[in-house]
Amino acid sequence: MKTMQIFNFPISVGKYQDYIEYIMDSASTGRSQYIYVANVHMVVEAFWNKSFSEKVRKAGLVTPDGKPLTWALRLLHGIKQDRVAGMDVLPALLKQSEKMQTPVSIYGGSDTLLSRTRNYLDRNYPRLCIRDLYSPPFRDLTPEEEVRTIDRINNSGAKLVFVVLGCPKQEQWMASMAGRINAVMIGIGGALPVMIGMQKRAPRWMQNAGLEWLFRLWLEPKRLFKRYFVTNSVFLYLLSRELVRKTFTRKFEQHEMN
């Protein structure tokens, strides 16, 4: 898919259904790759961290999860882009996987989360081919544990792996597994607990207004205040700076032409 840059951060652009089809087609081939579902936090993380920025550039697909990213694409490039949020992509991919009988697995999250996920999937996607649900230790894996994890996922036969480790840990993990896990990996972060009813999602009007982050902040103020205050402020600064630069560049080019 075509990509456009936001502060040197590549975003895959297209219609919502194009992303779903790309992921499912890629999963059917068994080719190892990873998908990033990008929000403001991820863009700022890549701006600060060159190593992480390189991982983003090697992703098979980078979807515009956050509404502010679709606004930035319109302001900077004149593109009217669909929002491709993890909370919408997850059920869509599960539905397609059930229809196409694509084997899936879930990596990450607590035992409680995965137990409730199994019950939810059995009720709502009874024909879904679930090969594995695994809650790894909440620490860095040893080299031996890492090898066992790779073997476990590959031996399961899963072609689509949903990764639930939180940003940017899940993105770092997926990049390290590229070429080692024979499946498409996609980071779904907080989408899974919302889907199964363990957490609430913002009302539709807040989603459309780009205020979903504010709803999450209201739910988890201690954990998210610093993250949102810092990353949202940096994003607004970078966007303003880029808009000013484009304005001056355009005026200079017009002056030169005259």
Radius of gyration of the chain (CA): 19
Mean pLDDT of 207-229: 73
Which of the residue ranges 51-55, 136-140, 204-208, 221-225 has the most confident prediction, judged by mean pLDDT?
Answer: 51-55
CA 124 to CA 95: how far, in whole Å? Answer: 9
Please give the residue that has the higher pLDDT: either 66 or 191: 191
Given a cut of 60, whether residue 78 has pLDDT beyond it is yes
**Considering the chain, what percentage of its residues have pLDDT values greater than 90?**
66
CA 32 to CA 117: how far, in whole Å? Answer: 25
> Minimum mean pLDDT among 66-70, 188-192, 197-201: which range?
197-201
Contact between 69 and 236 (Cβ < 8 Å): no
pLDDT score recorded for residue 258: 58
Mean pLDDT of 34-57: 93
Instruction: Indicate the domain borders of the chain.
Output: 3-241
Q: What is the DSSP letter of 58?
A: T
CA distance to 90, 127, 168, 171, per residue, from 187 (Å): 10, 23, 9, 7
Whole-model pTM: value is 0.87
Residue 41: name the closest of 219, 213, 247 by CA: 213
Residue 225 pLDDT grade (very low, low, confident, very high; cuts 50, 70, 90):
confident
Q: Where are the beta strands (DSSP E) in the chain?
A: 3-6, 9-12, 33-38, 61-64, 104-108, 130-134, 160-164, 184-187
Given a cut of 90, whether residue 126 has pLDDT beyond it is yes
Length of the chain: 258
